[in-house]
Amino acid sequence: MEIVRSHRQLAAAAAAAGGGGLGSLPTYRAAPQLEVRLEEFELFAIDRLRVLKGISDGLSRGKRPEDMEKLVSELWKTHMRHQDPAETLNKDIISHFVLRLVYCRTEELRKWFLSMETTLFRYRFRLETSESQRMLMTEFQLPYKALPHSEFEVVKDKLSQVARSIGQSANVESVFFKVPFQEVPDLVASRRVFLSKGYAYVAMSQVVSLVVTQFRCNISKALVLTNRKWTATIKEQEKDRLTPIVEALSNAYFGPDYSQPKDAVEISVKDIDQLAKSSFPLCMRHMLDKLRENHHLKHGGRMQFGLFLKGAGLKLEDALAFWRAEFSQKVGSERFDKEYAYSIRHNYGKEGKRTDYTPYSCQKIISATPGVGDHHGCPYRHFGEENLRAALNKMGVSGHTLEEIMDKVKNRHYQLACTLTFEATHGVSCDSGINHPNQYFSESQKVLRAKNQTVESQSAT
């Protein structure tokens, strides 16, 4: 497609449709009616994805709010900002709507995109001036007015107590909003607001929680509607033009497609036990142990572990041999061929719709809800403390490192806990964080190959 208007005209049209006319931060209420070159369609999206991926990495590393604010500012300046504010706004709004199209297609994609865009909006809002924040509140049409002076004086002492309890100055802000407590669940959960008769008293410095709640709700609904349009018309109409770009973008930046890693090598059935000891993440070690113990895994476990092995390099023929050898000990070979072989071939794209399924990302595994008798999911989230400590001890993790991992688990930083486990068992730093079990496996193999090469080189000299 060709751009048929100047970039400044595009920015004006984008601002009018996507919001942000009252300030520099858009609200993305509606897609702008623009014509954009395919090259910019993709490049704008890639730059924004670099920002979102940077945010994801920061969160997985457990960065503090003040550090995240600095990180978001640096990421935005590096990848999105232009000398001309109109150009920045143009790129901002177009890239958001391109990625909305990319990430609307599955629940997992929508969940990740919604979380990262909400985090991005939160920190960008906090960097806005107070006047701009007020205008954005108006733009979101929030039905809240500043607390009258008479009512403020009645609760002033209570507000001062809350301020002191969270380490703020006893000099209470003069502008507060009285809102239903369910509108600011994060502030209520962290005890950062005064509650009375079902209402929370929110300071002007805290209104980001009100705005972000509305922003998240709007984007969540929009993603569902976009998915319907994508499924009904866009996917087929654009199959030769936009669809390949959309699929490539989601694979490249949302948990890489580990079904065919560039540096992958084939593994055989006989390699699995040794590789499990050296390079499997805890979730996959646990499922292999349970498979060996029970000669069976339920559907969730077969999917999670089977796709992991596929991504690690286990070919279809070997996968069938591996699962048959285990399951036949409990259900017999004939029943295995009738009831289980089909699903294994299906995962490799040889049955049904011929979809070549990709391994589960950490986010998908963490969000799982294993039932009784299930062994899939994330051990850092789903294990009890005693079982998790025992499992980590078995991997050789103990002492201060173990306590640090358990601290991350208590604070729900499950991927960071897995990252610390990787670093402890491999003796190297993993700055990018662990976001995928097959990434864990791939990075482990790289470390082990490098160590082996070093040993061989020293032996040769």
| Residues in the annotated binding site for [4Fe-4S] cluster | 283, 362, 378, 418
C-alpha–C-alpha distance, residues 375 and 378, integer Å:
9
Contact 100, 32 (CB under 8 A): no
Annotated binding site: 283, 362, 378, 418
Residue 359 is classified by DSSP as P
Ramachandran sector of residue 30 (left: φ over 0; alpha: ψ -120 to 50; beta: rest): beta
Residues 174, 171: Cα–Cα separation, whole Å:
9
| Amino acid (one-letter) located at 263 | D
Q: From residue 113, give the alpha-carbon distance in Å to each of 98, 105, 189, 223.
A: 12, 11, 24, 9
- For residues 258 and 358, the answer to whether their CB atoms sit within 8 Å is yes
Report the sign of the C-alpha dihedral through residues 230, 236, 237, 239, in that order: positive
Helices (H) and strands (E) in the chain, counts: 23, 3
**Tokens of residue 389, six digits:** 């400590």
Write out the two tokens for 53: 């991926």
Give dist(CA 107, CA 116) in Å, integer: 14
Distances (CA, A) of 128 to 141, 172, 174: 18, 21, 19
Query: What is the residue whose two structure tokens read 């990495």?
Result: 57
Sequence-ordered alpha helix ranges (H) in 332-413: 333-339, 341-347, 362-366, 379-382, 385-394, 399-410
Residues in a beta bridge with 196: 199
Spatial strand order of the sheet with 199-203 comes to 176-180, 199-203, 194-196
Site of tokens 């292999």: 288
User: CA 107 to CA 224: how far, in whole Å?
Assistant: 9
Rounded distance between C-alpha atoms, residue 27 and residue 14, angstroms: 11
CA gap 156, 164 in Å, rounded: 12
Pairing of strands 176-180, 194-196: unpaired
Residue 263 CB burial class (10 angstroms; 0-12, 13-18, ≥19)? exposed
Residue 194, strand partner residues: 201
